[in-house]
Chains A and B, each alone.
Chain A
Amino acid sequence: MAKIKGAVEVNTNRCKGCELCVVACPAKVLGMSKQVNAKGYNYACMVNPDACIGCASCGIVCPDGCISVYKVKIEN
C-alpha cells in the first residue's frame, strides 16, 4: 500500500509565534522553537517530523502565510 509522507517548511522570519498551526495539526507535528527570530517571536518548527501527513492544515490556518507544505507518496 502507498504511504503518504509530508514535511513543512516554516518561514521563520515571517512567523509571529501565534501557535495556531500547532493547534491545527492533527498529527502533533509542530511545536515552538526555543530560539526567537529577529522580531523576538518563538517560531513554529517540526518537533515530530516523522508524523507529518502533508495535510496542509497548519499552512491553511496560518494568518501570516509562513508555511509551505510538501507531500510524497511512497510506493512499497
Chain B
Amino acid sequence: MTTQDIIKPENLVYAKPSIMNDNTMHYCPGCSHGVVHKLVAEVIEEMGIVDKTIGISPVGCAVFAYNYIDIDWQEAAHGRAPAMATAIKRLLPDHCVFTYQGDGDLAAIGTAETIHACNRGENIAIIFINNAIYGMTGGQMAPTTLEGMKTSTCPYGRDVTLNGYHLPIGNLVAQLEGTRYVTRQSVHTAAAVRKAKAAIKKAFENTLAPEKKGASFVEIVSTCNSGWKMSPKDANDWMVENMFKAYPIGDLKNI
C-alpha cells in the first residue's frame, strides 16, 4: 500500500480544527502559543459552542489571537482581560467567556485584575501562557522569570537580592475561595498536549455550569524559544529541566 493509497479523506485521523483559519500565525517557529491556540479551537469546535464563545485577547505576543480562531473576540488593554471578561460574562451569562493571557499581561501589569476576578468567583476561564518572559517586547524579565534565568533586562541572570523571586501566581489564585479549578499543564509532547486539552475543556465546561460559581484557571508552562535564545527543541528540554521545578505540572485545585 502506497502513501497515496493511505492519504484519502476516509482515512483522516488528525487535522487542524476548522475554526482555526488559514491565516499565517505571526508566532516564531516552535512557539507554544500556536499549540495552545489549536487546543482552544479544538475544544470550542468539539463542544459545539462556536457561536456562544467569546475570547478576550491580551497585549503580548497573543495580541492577534483574534486573527486565527474564528469566534467572537474582544481585545483588552494590557492586563485588563479578566475585568473585560467579567463584564461580558455578566451581560451574557449563557456564553463561554475566556481570557488568553501571557505572564507579563496576567502576572505583572494585570496582577490586580487577575486576583480580583478570581476572588470574586467570576464564572470565566483564564488560559495563562507562562513562558517566564515578556516575549513580544524582546524578552525582558517578568515576575515569573526564574531565579538565575537570563533575560535581556537581567543578562547575568535574575538576582533575588535585586529582583525577588519567581511569582507562582497559579498557587496564589488556588488559595482563593473564588476559584474552582486551577491546573498547570504543558504542551511539549503529544501526551502533555492531550492533558492540556482536557484541562481547557474542563475550564470551558465550568463556565457553562451556572449552578456552581467560580473561576477556572489553566496555566500552560510554555517556551519562548526566541526570547530564551534557544532552538525550539532545546527550549522544550530547558523548560522540562528548569521551569517544571518552579512550576510543577498538575492540578492545584479541582472542586
Interface residues, chain A, CB within 8 Å of chain B? 5-7, 9, 14, 16-20, 23-24, 39, 41, 46, 49, 54-57, 59-72, 74
Contacts and interface: CB of A to CB of B under 8 A. Distances in A.
B187 A69 contact: no
A18 to B, nearest CB: 3
Interface string B18-60: 0010101101111111110010000000000000000000000
Contact of A70 (B13, B33, B232): B13
Nearest to A58: B190
B11 interface: yes
Contacts of B6: 5-7, 54, 70-72
A6 B14 CA distance: 11
Given A23-B233, A61-B189, A63-B30, 18 more contacts: A7-B7, A9-B7, A18-B30, A19-B30, A19-B232, A20-B30, A54-B13, A56-B190, A60-B193, A61-B193, A62-B38, A63-B25, A63-B38, A65-B34, A69-B15, A70-B12, A72-B1, A72-B5
A69 B34 contact: no
B189 A24 contact: yes
13 contacts: A5-B1, A7-B7, A20-B236, A23-B236, A54-B13, A56-B13, A57-B190, A62-B34, A62-B38, A65-B38, A66-B16, A69-B13, A72-B5
A55 to B, nearest CB: 8
Given A60-B190, A70-B6, A20 B233 contact: yes
A6 B31 CA distance: 27
B229 interface: no
Contacts of A56: 13-14, 190
A26 to B, nearest CB: 9
